[in-house]
Structure 1
Amino acid sequence: MKFYRLFFLSIVIITGASAKAQQSPVKVKFPVLGKNDTIRVASTNEDGEMIPWIPLNEVVIYGYRIFKSPEERAAYNRLRYNVMKVMPYALYAKRRYEQLEKDLALAEDKKLQKKLVKQCDKEIKDMFNREIKELTISQGQILTKLIDRELGRTTYEIVKETKGGITAFLYQSVARVVGHNLKSKYNPSEERDIESIILSSGFYQ
């Protein structure tokens, strides 16, 4: 019996010594620092060698566009000016109508829903009377397309959902007189210049 106890004790001692030998720390090699190396950085242990690294911000590279003529460059610059002028209005409309949809979803009372729609309509009209009415026909056309881009619905569809089909028809009739179309849709493949201007504008940063 004593022999078996001694035998098992010997196995435990040998196994423990072997495990201890395997767990011996691996010598890590750190880079040699110079006198100006004072900035702390992250590092990764790569097979015993510490590799320093620094995370970098994303770098977006845009191609330099070459225009065929000064007239084409002027037309592009004019388009860029118009897009940059109306884009804030499209983003405002997006935020306001998204908020309206959330408020309507939480409001079960019909009177409260009408009040919310009326309030949103008043805010849009106030902005129209204050700023948007000064837009040119070209800027107005771009704005209706950008609203469709941001909301996934045309201006006509938004008015129809919030104010009804008759009001939407009246708004569309007035818009057509001054050269606008509330049913204008946005197609990125057809509006490549506008899409390029928006993506490089910094509005989504």
Structure 2
Amino acid sequence: MWEYKFMKFCRLFILLFVIITTERLNAQETPASYKFPPRGKNDTIRVASTNDNGEMIPWMSLHEVVIYAERIFRTPADRAAYNRLRYNVLKVMPYALFAKRRYEQLERDLASTTDRKEHKKLVKQCDQEIKQMFKTEIKELTITQGQILTKLIDREVGRTTYEIVKETQGGVKAFLYQSVARVVGHNLKSTYNPEEERDIEAIIASSGFYRQ
């Protein structure tokens, strides 16, 4: 009987010891025990913080700042050519970004349903929006601007304009569109190579199109 009471007492003691130890550990891990820097009267902005051995270090993320050196041109003609290229790239870049956003939305919409009729409806709706943009704005582009646009679409979408038309409208229409494009000096199969288009890359990087 005495041994039984002793064992019971030992178990109770061990249980109390575990509870007390756990409470101490929890108390050590509570945010109240962390050391925060003193706040000034104007410190009203909530920011993230990192625990550095018990001392909370406040921090906040900043947008990337890119500094570009002033470009030196060999001749006035080179400067003029670069300025023309910059004008053309900035002119057509919004269209390429629109195509990117619209086809990304189309892919998300197609992935959300398996109904073939709904697929056709979504593709037709996307095609009509793209065509409307062509009718109202892109048709006024010069040949050079059109050539740049086809390359930028490949840059942004990851597929050439020809491949996009083929996927959404079929191979016959893609062939017809390509034939018409070639007559006016375009090529829907144009691809984009960043190494070959360093000037365009530099223009896009400094344009602010991707700034948050």
State the shift of 1:109 in Å: 1.4
1:194 maps to what in 2?
200
Which of 148, 154, 157 matches 1:151? 157
1:6 maps to what in 2?
none
Q: How far apart in 1 are the matches of 2:73 and 2:58? A: 41
Q: Is 1:69 the counterpart of 2:75 in the alignment?
A: yes
Q: How far apart in 2 are the matches of 1:170 and 1:77? A: 34
Q: TM-score, normalised by structure 2?
A: 0.71
Q: How far apart in 2 are the matches of 1:74 and 1:122? A: 38
Q: Is 1:135 the counterpart of 2:162 in the alignment?
A: no
Q: How far apart in 1 are the matches of 2:58 and 2:166? A: 56
| Paired letter, 2:162 | Y
Q: Is 1:175 the counterpart of 2:173 in the alignment?
A: no
Please list the CA deviations of residues 65-112 of structure 1 after superposition, one character each: whole Å capped at 9, or x if unmatched: 000111110110000000001000000000001111111112211111
Q: How far apart in 2 are the matches of 1:98 and 1:198? A: 21
1:121 maps to what in 2?
127
SS at match of 2:193: coil
State the shift of 1:39 in Å: 5.7
Q: Is 1:78 the counterpart of 2:84 in the alignment?
A: yes
Q: How far apart in 2 are the matches of 1:56 and 1:63? A: 25
1:59 maps to what in 2?
65
Q: How far apart in 1 are the matches of 2:67 and 2:200? A: 18
Residues 179 and 172 of structure 1, relative CA distance in 2, 3 Å threshold: same
1:12 maps to what in 2?
none
| Paired letter, 1:87 | M
Gap regions ≥5 residues in structure 2? 1-36
Q: How far apart in 2 are the matches of 1:53 and 1:119? A: 49
Residues 72 and 116 of structure 1, relative CA distance in 2, 3 Å threshold: same
Q: How far apart in 2 are the matches of 1:164 and 1:102? A: 20
Gap regions ≥5 residues in structure 1? 1-29, 31-36
State the shift of 1:59 in Å: 3.1
Identity rate, percent: 73
Q: How far apart in 1 are the matches of 2:116 and 2:84? A: 46
Rg (Cα) greater in structure: 1
Q: How far apart in 1 are the matches of 2:110 and 2:80? A: 45
Moved more, 56-65 or 188-197: 56-65
Q: How far apart in 2 are the matches of 1:129 and 1:78? A: 24
Which of 178, 188, 191 matches 1:185? 191
State the shift of 1:53 in Å: 9.0
2:19 maps to what in 1?
none
SS at match of 2:101: helix
Moved more, 192-201 or 54-63: 54-63
Aligned length: 169
State the shift of 1:38 in Å: 7.5
Aligned CA RMSD, in angstroms, stands at 2.7
1:15 maps to what in 2?
none
Q: How far apart in 2 are the matches of 1:72 and 1:198? A: 19
